[in-house]
Amino acid sequence: MLKEGTKAPDFELEDQNGKIHSLKDYAGKKIILYFYPKDNTPGCTKQACGFAELYPQFTEKNAIILGVSKDSAASHKKFETDFQLPFPLLADTELKAIKAYDVWQEKIMYGKKSMGIVRTTYLIDENGIIAKAFEKVDAPENPAQMLAEL
DSSP string, 76-122: HHHHHHHHT--S-EEE-TT-HHHHHTT-EEEEEETTEEEEEE--EEE
What confidence tens digit (pLDDT) does each residue in 77-98 have?
999 999 999 999 999 999 999 9
**Catalytic position from the list 8, 13, 33, 44:** 44
pLDDT given for residue 138 in this prediction:
95
How far is the C-alpha of 7 from the C-alpha of 61, rounded, in Å? 22
Q: 135 in a domain, yes or no?
A: yes
Q: By percentage, how much of the chain surpasses pLDDT 90?
A: 93
Q: 11 in a domain, yes or no?
A: no
Q: 8 in a domain, yes or no?
A: no
Q: 15 in a domain, yes or no?
A: no
Domain count, the chain: 1
**What is the span of the domain harbouring residue 138?**
33-149
Q: 9 in a domain, yes or no?
A: no
For the question of whether the overall pTM of this predicted structure is more than 0.75, the answer is yes
CATH code at 106?
3.40.30.10
Q: 1 in a domain, yes or no?
A: no
49 given a catalytic annotation: no
> Within the chain, which residues score under 70 in pLDDT?
none
